[in-house]
């Protein structure tokens, strides 16, 4: 038994009409059909704007001129020179410490102890509990939601190209009247 389900696919373009294609598709294999609709796109072209400029217009020119600057400084000019000198720095060094005699240290160690008589051990088992009323429990579940995706598409821009073509020029031919 095959069941046919209507499948609707719509394509919306910027500045164009919405085109909806409806097809009957078999249930196990969904098919998407995409239809591309060309439309005109206006492209702005920069054009020169005429502007009026006065004929002798003023131009400012900056010119660097050297100027001598006198800086006063003392004649016996002091110069600082670093001189190395020895410095004592404290450094920690390990040194031996005498211990009078060894002291006891306690260590935890597991030892097996024999048991004369086995004793019963109780094990907790899950016990079914009867619930009179069912109560709602919240479960986090991801819910799919539609996301718009921008898909680039080719745009045809009309460009005028001059095409050379031939013009047939008719030249009148004069025949003498005696030949006709």
pTM for the model stands at 0.13
**Which pLDDT value is given to residue 11?**
47
3-class state of residue 9 by DSSP = strand
- Name the pLDDT band for 13 (thresholds 50, 70, 90): very low
Domain ranges of the chain: 1-38
Choice among 27-36, 69-78, 82-91, 161-170 with the minimum mean pLDDT: 27-36
101-154: pLDDT as tens digits: 777 778 888 888 887 777 777 878 888 888 788 777 787 888 888 888 888 888
pLDDT over 80 at 93, yes or no: yes
Which distant-in-sequence residues (6+ apart) come within 8 Å of 8 by Cβ? Answer: 20, 21, 22
Over residues 4-15, the mean pLDDT reads: 50
């Amino acid at each position: 038994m095959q069941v046919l389900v209507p499948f609707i696919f719509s394509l919306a373009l910027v500045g164009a009409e919405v085109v909806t294609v409806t097809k009957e598709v078999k249930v196990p294999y969904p098919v998407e059909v995409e239809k591309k609709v060309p439309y005109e796109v206006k492209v702005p072209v920069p054009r020169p704007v005429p502007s009026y400029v006065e004929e002798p217009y003023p131009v400012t020119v900056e010119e660097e001129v050297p100027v001598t600057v006198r800086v006063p400084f003392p004649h016996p000019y002091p110069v600082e020179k670093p001189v190395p000198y020895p410095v004592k720095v404290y450094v920690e060094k390990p040194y031996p410490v005498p211990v009078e005699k060894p002291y006891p240290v306690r260590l935890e160690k597991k030892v097996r102890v024999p048991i004369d008589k086995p004793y019963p051990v109780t094990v907790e088992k899950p016990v079914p509990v009867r619930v009179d009323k069912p109560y709602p429990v919240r479960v986090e579940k991801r819910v799919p939601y539609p996301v718009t995706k921008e898909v680039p598409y080719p745009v045809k821009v009309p460009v005028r190209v001059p095409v050379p073509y031939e013009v047939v020029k008719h030249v009148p031919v004069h025949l003498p009247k005696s030949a006709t």
